[in-house]
Amino acid sequence: MAKPPLILITPGIEKRGFEFSDLSVSLAVRYENAILAAGGIPVIAPVTRNRALLAEAVRRTDGVLFTGGDDINPDLYDKQLPKKVLKSIIQTPDEGGRDTREVILVKEVFRQRKPVLAICRGHQILNVACGGQLVADIPQEIYQALPHQQSAKAFELVHEAALTPGSLLAKICGQRTLGVNSTHHQGVIEPAKPFVATAIASDGMVEAMELKPAWAAKLPFLLSVQFHPERLVQIHARYRNIFSAFVAACKKNLKSKS
């Protein structure tokens, strides 16, 4: 029986945990369930800023899943944001630790050529780590934007995104448009240099990115989505297929190490 691949998953940070009032690691079970259902074994990334240890964590696993969570420190992508926009930002309570850790992990997956799936905040940190910017607060910065921050409908399809024909996501989903949930107030409207938008909402917000053809050989798999497919896996197979395709790429990576 073939070994299941190990998938490194980035956790969130909570100011107070359930057991004690200490700074705590937090991860929605739905991420792990989606990986387990696709045939992978989830491994939570260590809470450290040590580059060597994070590099070793990437080396020992077969792919990396960047998850959702709080906002990214705007100093990493735009130090000139207006005060009214800055007031809308809620950063992680670990003094930038998660931001630093995930930027290191992005650089490591490119260096070590590991499969990547990025979701929501993960989609955003991927863009920032590769030199791109974010829309820091969509309602304030995008004229006539769709209502993207619909947390009360986290398990529902609230708008559609047009898919690029022939893209990885279009092949996975088998269609030209994709319904998505939407629980974010920040986002990507201009992909960083290595990426191309392959799903776009009607207001221009990027709902998915993939590697440009010139960069495709650098990683065995990369799909970055702004929505939360782990919350939609019960709705339709197309959302489960996102995790299946990612874990399949991780299995190939595992075989190549054997």
Tens digits of residue pLDDT in 130-186: 999 999 999 998 888 899 999 999 999 999 999 999 999 999 999 999 999 999 999
Residue 1 has what pLDDT? 64
Q: How many Cα atoms are found within 13 Å in the side-chain-facing hemisphere of 252?
A: 11
- Residue 86 pLDDT level (bands cut at 50, 70, 90): very high
Residue 255 has what pLDDT? 62
- Decide if 96 is inside a domain: yes
Sign of torsion over alpha carbons 61, 65, 69, 75:
positive
- Decide if 136 is inside a domain: yes
The C-alpha angle 120, 187, 110, rounded to 5 degrees, equals 60
Q: Return the amino acid letter for 235.
A: I
The total domain count for the chain is 1
* Mean pLDDT value of segment 70-96: 93
Residue 137 has what pLDDT? 93
Pick left, alpha or beta for residue 176 (phi over 0 → left; psi -120 to 50 → alpha; otherwise beta). Answer: alpha
Residue 122 has what pLDDT? 98
The C-alpha angle 222, 154, 94, rounded to 5 degrees, equals 70
Residue 258 has what pLDDT? 60
Q: Which domain holds residue 113?
A: 6-257
Whether residue 101 is predicted with pLDDT greater than 70 in this model: the reply is: yes
3-state secondary structure of 219: coil
Q: Return the amino acid letter for 258.
A: S
- Decide if 208 is inside a domain: yes
- Decide if 142 is inside a domain: yes
Residue 23 has what pLDDT? 87
Share in percent of the chain as helix, strand, coil (round to 5)? 35, 20, 45
Q: How far apart are the first and last CA of the chain?
A: 14
Q: Which alpha helices (DSSP H) does 75-180 contain, by range?
A: 83-86, 97-112, 121-129, 138-141, 168-173
- Decide if 229 is inside a domain: yes
Residue 165 has what pLDDT? 97
- Decide if 1 is inside a domain: no
Residue 56 has what pLDDT? 98
* Mean pLDDT value of segment 175-202: 96
Whether residue 58 is predicted with pLDDT greater than 90 in this model: the reply is: yes
Give the CATH number, domain containing residue 252: 3.40.50.880
Query: Are 246 and 34 within 8 A, CB to CB?
Result: no
Q: Which residues contact 12 (CB under 8 A, 6 or more apart)?
A: 25, 26, 27, 67, 68, 69, 70, 92, 98
Q: What is the mean pLDDT of the chain?
A: 94
Percent of the chain at pLDDT exceeding 70: 98
Whether residue 126 is predicted with pLDDT greater than 90 in this model: the reply is: yes
- Secondary structure E strands in the chain: 6-9, 12-14, 24-26, 41-44, 63-66, 116-119, 159-163, 177-180, 195-201, 206-211, 222-225
Residue 18 has what pLDDT? 75
